[in-house]
C-alpha cells in the first residue's frame, strides 16, 4: 500500500490544480494511508549499565530516546543543577542501600548521592527526576521502590506529575510512604498526551531514597495489519460503458444512481459522470471520482478508513455544510481516484 504524508499530498494537489494538461486528471497525484495502531512498551532501565549516569535512554524494544534529568537536593533543601540520574542494580545493591534490594526488579533509576561518585548510592536528601518522551504517549503505571515512612524521616510529600507538550499538568498522584524496601505499583490513570513525567521525592527529615522502574506507556505506532478486503473496483469508463439499461452489459448498480439528483448540482449522478473531465473546476474534479467510488462500493467493493473519511468530507461539502480549501478537495479527489484505480483498497477488477 502506498504511503505519503498529508502535507505532501496537499502540495501535489496545489501544483496539479495549476496545470492545464489533458491527460489523466490525477496523474502525478499520489495517495496513501498513515494508519495508526496502539503500541505499548515498558521503560525498565535494563538497557543501561549500572553505575552510569544517563541523560537519555531507549526501551528494550527501541522506543526513544527518552531524555532523563535528575536534580539532587542538598542538606539545606536547595537543588543542585547537575544531572544526577544514575542506574542502580537492585539485585546487587551498593553503598548503604540495602533498602533498595530486590530479587527481581533488576536495574532501577535513582538520584545519585551528592559527593558520592565511586559507586551507585541514592541521595538521602531527595530531589526530582524528569523523563521527557520524544512524542506524546499514554502513561499507564510505574513502579516505585523504598518510599520511607520512618518517624522523622517520612517521604510523605512525594508525587508523580504528568504534563503535555505545552507544560499543562494532566495528572498527579501522591506516592504512598510504605517504609524501607517497600514496593508499589502506581496507577497513572491511563493518561493520554503525556510528553513529560516528573517524580518529586520530598517529605520530612532525611528523605528521597526511592527508585523508579517499569514505566508502562502506549503510543501510536504504524498499523501493519491489513484491513479486510473484498470485492474489486472499476474505473469511471467502465461505469459509463455499463450505464445503458437497454444493453445486455448494463450494470444494475446504476438503478440506485442513474436518475438520482447529485445534491444541488442540477444534474443526476449519470449526467455528471458523463461530463468531460475538467481541470479548472475542483467541484467536478471531486464529483467524478466520488460517484465512481460510490458505484464501486454499492457493487460490493470494500473500503479503507481513509476512503471512508474522504467520502464523508466530500459528502458534507456537496451538501453545502462545509467550505474546504481547493487543496483539500483535490486531496480527497486524488485519494478516491487511487481507490477506484485499485492502488488502495481491494484492488481493480480483472478486465473483461
The domains found in the chain, sorted by start residue, are: 6-35+228-341 (no CATH), 38-222 (2.60.120.1350)
pLDDT number for residue 31: 38
Average pLDDT, integer, range 156-168:
94
Measured CA to CA, the distance from residue 304 to residue 176 in angstroms comes to 48
Average pLDDT, integer, range 180-196:
92
Q: List, for residues 217-233, the tens digit of each pLDDT value.
A: 998 876 544 567 899 99
Measured CA to CA, the distance from residue 130 to residue 79 in angstroms comes to 14
Measured CA to CA, the distance from residue 99 to residue 182 in angstroms comes to 8
Measured CA to CA, the distance from residue 324 to residue 304 in angstroms comes to 22
Between 6 and 73, the higher pLDDT residue: 73
Average pLDDT, integer, range 239-268:
95
Please provide the average confidence, as pLDDT, over all residues in the chain: 85
pLDDT number for residue 129: 95
Q: How confident is the model at residue 33 (pLDDT cuts 50, 70, 90)?
A: very low
Average pLDDT, integer, range 25-47:
63
Q: How confident is the model at residue 184 (pLDDT cuts 50, 70, 90)?
A: very high
Average pLDDT, integer, range 71-75:
89
Q: How confident is the model at residue 121 (pLDDT cuts 50, 70, 90)?
A: confident
pLDDT number for residue 7: 40
Average pLDDT, integer, range 159-178:
95
Measured CA to CA, the distance from residue 198 to residue 321 in angstroms comes to 45
Residue-wise over 44-66: b if at least 16 C-beta within 10 A, else e?
bbebbebeebbeebebeeebeeb
pLDDT number for residue 95: 80
| pLDDT above 50 for 235 | yes
Residue pair 209/97 in contact by the 8 Å Cβ criterion = yes
pLDDT number for residue 208: 63
Average pLDDT, integer, range 52-80:
91
Q: How confident is the model at residue 114 (pLDDT cuts 50, 70, 90)?
A: confident
pLDDT number for residue 160: 97
pLDDT number for residue 219: 87
Q: How confident is the model at residue 29 (pLDDT cuts 50, 70, 90)?
A: very low
Between 235 and 150, the higher pLDDT residue: 235
The pTM of the whole model exceeds 0.75: no
Amino acid at each position: 500500500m502506498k504511503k505519503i504524508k498529508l502535507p505532501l499530498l496537499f502540495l501535489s494537489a496545489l501544483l496539479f490544480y495549476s496545470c492545464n494538461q489533458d491527460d489523466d486528471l490525477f496523474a502525478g497525484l499520489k495517495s496513501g494511508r498513515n494508519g495508526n495502531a496502539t503500541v505499548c512498551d515498558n521503560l525498565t532501565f535494563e538497557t543501561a549499565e549500572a553505575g552510569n549516569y544517563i541523560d537519555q535512554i531507549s526501551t528494550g524494544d527501541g522506543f526513544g530516546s527518552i531524555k532523563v534529568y535528575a536534580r539532587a537536593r542538598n542538606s539545606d533543601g536547595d537543588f543542585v543543577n547537575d544531572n544526577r540520574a544514575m542506574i542502580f542494580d537492585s539485585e546487587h545493591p551498593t553503598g548503604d542501600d540495602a533498602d533498595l534490594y530486590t530479587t527481581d526488579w533488576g536495574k532501577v533509576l535513582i538520584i545519585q548521592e551528592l559527593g558520592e561518585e565511586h559507586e551507585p548510592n541514592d541521595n538521602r536528601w531527595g530531589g526530582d527526576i524528569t523523563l521527557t518522551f520524544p512524542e506524546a504517549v499514554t502513561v499507564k503505571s510505574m513502579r516505585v521502590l523504598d518510599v520511607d515512612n520512618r518517624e522523622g524521616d517520612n517521604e510523605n510529600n512525594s508525587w508523580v506529575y504528568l504534563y503535555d507538550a505545552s507544560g499543562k499538568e494532566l495528572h498527579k498522584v501522591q506516592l504512598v510512604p510504605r517504609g524501607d524496601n517497600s514496593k508499589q505499583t502506581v496507577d497513572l490513570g491511563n493518561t493520554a498526551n503525556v510528553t513529560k513525567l516528573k517524580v518529586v521525592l520530598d517529605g520530612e527529615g532525611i528523605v528521597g531514597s526511592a527508585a523508579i522502574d517499569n514505566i508502562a506507556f502506549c503510543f501510536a505506532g504504524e498499523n501493519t495489519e491489513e484491513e479486510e478486503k473484498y470485492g474489486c473496483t472499476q474505473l469511471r469508463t467502465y461505469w459509463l460503458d455499463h450505464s445503458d439499461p437497454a444493453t445486455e452489459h448494463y450494470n444494475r448498480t446504476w438503478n440506485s444512481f442513474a436518475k438520482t439528483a447529485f445534491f444541488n448540482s442540477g444534474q443526476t449522478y449519470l449526467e455528471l459522470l458523463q461530463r468531460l473531465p475538467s481541470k479548472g473546476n475542483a467541484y467536478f474534479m471531486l464529483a467524478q471520482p466520488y460517484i465512481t467510488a460510490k458505484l464501486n462500493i454499492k457493487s460490493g467493493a470494500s473500503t479503507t478508513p481513509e476512503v471512508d473519511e474522504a467520502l464523508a468530507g466530500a459528502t458534507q461539502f456537496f451538501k453545502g455544510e462545509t467550505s474546504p480549501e481547493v487543496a483539500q478537495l483535490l486531496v480527497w479527489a486524488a485519494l478516491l481516484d487511487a481507490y477506484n484505480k485499485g492502488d488502495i483498497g481491494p484492488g481493480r477488477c480483472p478486465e473483461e
